[in-house]
Amino acid sequence: MNITQDIKYIGVNDRDIDLFEGQYIVPNGMAYNSYVITDDKIAVMDTVDARFKDEWLSNLEKALDGKNPDYLIIQHMEPDHSANIRHFAEKYPNAKIVSSSKSFVMMKGFFGTDFVENQIVVGEGDALSLGSHTLTFITAPMVHWPEVIVTYDSKDKVLFSADGFGKFGAYDTDEDWACEARRYYIGIVGKYGQQTQALLKKTAGLDIEIICPLHGPVLTENLEYYINLYDIWSSYRVESEGVVIAYTSVYGNTKKAVLKLRDKLTAKGVEVVLNDLARCDMAEAVEDSFRYGTTVLATTTYNADIFPFMREFINHLTERNFQCRTVAFIENGSWAPMATKVMKGMLEKSKNLNYAENEVKIISALNEESEKQLEALAEELCK
Ligand code: FEO
């Protein structure tokens, strides 16, 4: 597949993977992208996951059309992209490996060698000429690991964006970009909003016509749309108005309250997303709370703490720097209810959270008093 006259796609689709990075379900698989730039010199952009060594090397060989590569540019050392560096080096021993100094340290860790005979270390603003194409390297620490660089090709106006602008799903999956790109970004890079903002600022002045990420489709049109979403996500701004209700329910009484709240809000014209944390995809639930302005947390007191799925959910939020949102609380407890206190304690270090004034306390099952609290909460949340 040609991206431009000189840039070819040589990535692979992974349709067998069960959990990406050991935790994310990917019903439509995963793409590991890699590219070849052919000029007076030939550069290969990244490798792919270890399980696709033969397919990738074969794609590369076809793209090279009998020539030898001069450079392997490694933008990110996570093994979904770096696993085949050694195989590449064995097949093309004269090619130089171009990467950040931190990457070469990691190569030693992964491969027992940092390819010292072949290495070219690049840093912020360094350029590599391939002939008519000049590649400029931009550091992108923590988007998604500390060693990451992204690469700008000024001739074809292409930004090779590493994990940035990637998404879950095999390359040719026909699905909404934002949904799986958001789940990917919030899940994988979400904690590092500040660093993503820094990268967006560094690339803002570049004339970019094509974005070539390491996962998901190459972006060729309407780039402002994707860049704007990245700006919203990485600055923790609200993307969509609406209320997420994240809940756990042991015998259905908390669920009954949650469904009532949903109906009340929906009747008032509020968009509501329900997530049963014991049954839904946790990454999707986390994504929703970063997308919408308000999250209602509803759970039971359990072992003098909260129900385990809610604990896990709040941990996912806080470790990703959840902030700048309204949070409301519904607790249930048959004796000594303390779920709201525990949840608030877990959110203590989160910045700019606005707690709803109205809280709902259920003693085992809804009664007249808790019904009133539910109504008051619904009133408050639709304002
Ligand atoms: Fe796609 Fe952070 O590796």
pLDDT in tens, 185-241: 999 999 999 999 999 999 999 999 999 999 999 999 999 999 999 999 999 999 999
**Measuring from atom 3 of ligand 1, which residue has the nearest CA?**
78
Half-sphere exposure at residue 310, Cβ-oriented, CA atoms within 13 angstroms: 29
**What is the DSSP code (8-state) at residue 2?**
B
pLDDT at 88: 98
Residues 120-152 have pLDDT tens digits of 999 999 999 999 999 999 999 999 999 999 999
46 lines ligand 1 (CB under 6 A): no
Q: Hey, what domains does the chain have and what are their CATH numbers?
A: 7-234 (3.60.15.10), 241-382 (3.40.50.360)
Please state, in angstroms and rounded to a whole number, the distance separating the CA atoms of residues 94 and 71.
9
Among candidate residues 57, 49, 45, 59, the one with its CA nearest the CA of residue 90: 57
Residues 35-78 have pLDDT tens digits of 999 999 999 999 999 999 999 999 999 999 999 999 999 999 99
167 lines ligand 1 (CB under 6 A): no
Among candidate residues 49, 61, 51, 53, the one with its CA nearest the CA of residue 8: 61
Query: Region 328-349: what's the mean pLDDT?
Result: 97
Query: How far lies 112's CA from each of 90, 146, 165, 351, in Å?
Result: 14, 20, 31, 42
6 lines ligand 1 (CB under 6 A): no
**CA–centroid distance, residue 78 to ligand 1 (Å):** 5
Helices (H), 292-361: 308-319, 339-346
Query: Region 284-288: what's the mean pLDDT?
Result: 98
Beta-bridge partners for 305: 302
Half-sphere exposure at residue 192, Cβ-oriented, CA atoms within 13 angstroms: 19
**Measuring from atom 1 of ligand 1, which residue has the nearest CA?**
163
> Residue 166: CB partners within 8 Å, gap ≥ 6?
181, 184, 185, 213, 214, 215, 216
CB 378 within 8 A of CB 260: no
170 falls in which pLDDT band (50, 70, 90)?
Answer: very high
pLDDT at 202: 97
| Sheet of 158-160, strands arranged across | 127-129, 134-139, 149-153, 158-160, 210-212
Query: Region 83-109: what's the mean pLDDT?
Result: 98
The secondary element (H helix, E strand) that includes residue 10 is none
**Closest ligand 1 atom to 144 CA:** 2
pLDDT at 70: 98
